[in-house]
Amino acid sequence: MSLEEEKQGQETALEEQSYNAEQITVLKGLEAVRMRPAMYIGSTGTKGLHHLFVEVVDNSIDEALAGYCTAITVTLHADNSISVLDNGRGFPVDIHPEMGLPGVQVAMTVLHAGGKFGAGGYKVSGGLHGVGVSAVNALSAWMVTEVYRDGHIYRQRYERGEAVTSLEIVGKTKVTGTRQTWMADREIFEQIEYHLDIFVQRLRELAYLNKGIKIILTDERPGETQGQTQEFYYKTGISAFVEHLNRNKDPLHKVVYFDRSREDTQVEIALQYNDSYQENILTFANNIHTTEGGAHLSGFKTALTRVINNYGRKAGILKEKDSNFTGDDVREGLTAVISVKLLHPQFEGQTKTKLGNSEIEGIVNSIVGEGLTEFLEENPTTARKIIEKSLTAARAREAARRASELVKRQSALENAALPGKLADCTERDPSKCEIYLVEGDSAGGSAKQGRDRRFQAVLPLRGKILNVEKKRIDQALDNQEIKSLITALGTGITKSASSEGAARDSENGNGNGHSNGNGNGKDDLSTFDVGKLRYDRVIIMADADVDGQHIRTLLLTFFFRYMRPLVEEGHIYIAQPPLFQIRSGKQYTYAKDEDERDRLVKSIGRRDVLVRRFKGLGEMNAEELRDTTMDPQQRTIAQVSLEDAVEADEIFTILMGDKVEPRRNFIEAHAKEVADVDWHGS
């Protein structure tokens, strides 16, 4: 190689390694949203698809918060397009001074363009980043915006985020408002399939949080719900929300409600105690459900505990020698909704699940302190019921504390402390381990023989565990099967099942110098630690009959009430054992139900086919159980997820609670939907 050739080669190499401005790609308009949709709507699956609807409806709700909108109509059209109509002010249609385009076109086609950045369009809003409706536009095959304003109807059409028509006047009107209609883009979304219950849940929630606003939902799609119209309107707002949450429980008093403003922040609180053992606290900031709580939840908890302790001592129910109630004590049986509306909310994380404004904690603390103190002093009979409820909870907590000492997890080296029935695995890395919770000793024996002992553990459960929905925690901890389960898993338990994350918050807020009885500033039973989970997958394996379904439900009730983070983080699974074995010669196949059995028999097409029905796991030998239900290469397991904590709480209350009437109504309403129920052994 000559010197000249070598020099040219070096220059070429330098050019390949260089990183110049010309190599930086500039995405124009809404290209960034289409290229990385998950950054803006979370995913391109079911959640992301429905998030488009949430963004558009939130714009209408922001008009309501500003005082200009009283009605919203949502329609699911037959072609799977969606429209949202409100009677707000309507998008601005005048020319934007910098962009030279109509204001509506700027809002629809430019990221971070909107009336929520301090220019006076909105004081309070849920949409903060200016990417809401423009992101919907970008991810839609087409979108049509109609604006009713200044006596005219304006219309503009967009395709995949770009305007394909100018803003046109297409008619006259005497009303104001905006109608958004869009068709989600099949190039972006895995499947265009809307679930009506998601719409109902969000619209009902918004109607509760914004009292006096009327929201109408119509489904025009073919099917059972075609033509169905639902109206959501709640004159008393979140008070009605609390009544709804408690409708299947026995309340101890009427809903306590107060609404006060301070420092440009509005705080609405509604609460009511019932005779159950769980707490259910929902928090919202600017209509956004903050599922992980945050500053407003902390302020509420601190004030609640302080006020009830102060009143208990003032009334002489708490004696000088008595320890203060803990936060868990005063929240047992409490249902509450906390709604704050503020100018500049700061949410932790892109999903906006936790409110981070530190000043809100003090504001809520002060308002709850004043409002609740006034209520208790003005309603001594109700006040005494609440204090006595807390006193009973405190006594049970002490009993539970003693019981919990018996079920605390020991280190992996102290295997002698693990349940004697547990057949543990040899692997010590929890992320590689799984445990089968097996119904009965017979099936447990087969499972122990059929497992891969390197990473699979088996815990046989004798019969049906206690229904924790009907028992206080100290009674639950006295149950041997529950003791074994808690000890085997190793995480400890959460005291209660607040919908805002019982394991994440441990505010006690005693606030007056009295000891809470445990010396460490935390509730005795708030010891759940998912980091101590000994098995990454917890698999419920029960028979496919009614008894097996009942056992699964009892276990799921326990996990939801006292180990909810395991459900939320996807650690709970349900094994799917087959109902049938199909034998043809020396070949075996398995079918999970009658339909699959018939399909397999037909596909084999031979006369010597033998079909065997398993009546239970105990009928399977170790090899059959391994091949069908335990071998990761062949088995099918269903992961349990928590899509809607409010609905889940309601279902567990109905199906597993004390009240018979709601359960009978539920069964009558859904009896026709039941299929493939095996009544053997019921």
In DSSP notation, 227-238 reads TEEEEE--TTTH
Mean pLDDT along residues 445-450: 90
Q: Where are the domains of the chain?
A: 31-232, 238-403, 412-501+524-577+641-673
Contact residues for 361 (Cβ-Cβ < 8 A; gap 6+):
295, 296, 298, 299, 302
CATH topology of domain 238-403: Ribosomal Protein S5; domain 2 (3.30.230)
Cβ–Cβ < 8 Å for 559, 513: no
Percentage of the residues of the chain whose pLDDT score is greater than 70: 83
Coil, strand or helix at 160: coil
pLDDT tens column, 63-88: 988 889 999 999 999 999 999 999 99
Is residue 680 over pLDDT 50?
no
**How do the residues of the chain divide into helix, strand and coil, expressed in percent and rounded to 5?**
40, 20, 40
d(CA 322, CA 308): 14
Is the CB of residue 176 less than 8 Å from the CB of residue 87? yes
> Rounded to whole angstroms, how far apart are CA atoms 43 and 128?
19
- Using CA atoms, how far apart are residues 440 and 464, in angstroms rounded to an integer? 9
Dihedral sign computed on CA atoms, order 201, 206, 211, 214: negative
Q: Which of 547, 568, 624, 649 is catalytic?
A: 547
pLDDT band at 384 (very low <50, low <70, confident <90, very high): very high
Contacts of 198 (CB under 8 A, 6+ apart): 50
Which is the catalytic residue, given 205, 361, 474, 545?
545
User: Looking at residue 675, what is its pLDDT?
Assistant: 56
Which fold, 412-501+524-577+641-673? Answer: Rossmann fold (3.40.50)
Class of domain 31-232: alpha beta
pLDDT band at 502 (very low <50, low <70, confident <90, very high): very low
User: d(Cα 207, Cα 217) in Å, to the nearest integer?
Assistant: 12
Give me the catalytic one of 55, 424, 469, 543: 543
Which tops the pLDDT comparison, 26 or 175? 175
Choose from 3-12, 215-224, 670-679 the range with maximum mean pLDDT: 215-224
Least-confidence region, from 124-128, 154-158, 582-586: 124-128
Mean pLDDT in the chain? Answer: 83
Q: Among this protein's residues, is 631 annotated catalytic?
A: no
Question: Is residue 478 flagged as an active site residue?
Answer: no
- Asked if 578 and 591 count as a contact pair (C-beta separation under 8 A), the reply is yes
Task: Read off the tokens for 162.
Answer: 């770009």
C-alpha to C-alpha distance for 549 and 545, rounded to whole angstroms:
6
Residue 334's φ and ψ, nearest 5 degrees, are -90, 130
510 bridge partner residues = none
Give the residue from 434, 451, 446, 408 showing the smallest Cα distance to 536: 434
| pLDDT for position 30 | 76
pLDDT tens per residue, range 507-564: 433 333 333 333 333 444 447 888 999 999 999 998 877 788 889 999 999 999 889 9
Identify the weakest region by mean pLDDT among 32-41, 179-188, 366-375, 400-409. Answer: 400-409
At 406 the pLDDT is 54
- In angstroms and rounded to an integer, the radius of gyration of the C-alpha atoms of the chain is 29
pLDDT digits (tens, 9 = 90+) for 234-277: 999 999 999 999 998 999 999 999 999 988 899 999 999 998 88
65 vs 121, 210, 668, CA distance in Å? 11, 8, 40
CA–CA separation, 491 and 565 (whole Å): 10
Higher-confidence position of 62 and 547: 62
Which of 304-313, 328-337, 343-352 has the weakest average pLDDT? 343-352
Active site annotation includes 474: no
- The span from the CA of 561 to the CA of 497, in Å, is 5
Task: Dig out the tokens for 107 from the structure.
Answer: 């809002």
The single residue of 439, 500, 507, 650 carrying the catalytic annotation is: 439
Q: Taking every pair of C-alpha atoms in the chain, what is the biggest distance, in angstroms?
A: 102
Annotated catalytic residue 547 = yes
Q: Against a cut of 0.85, is the pTM above it?
A: no
d(C-alpha 383, C-alpha 379), whole Å: 6
State residue 99's pLDDT score. Answer: 83
pLDDT at residue 341, as a whole number: 92
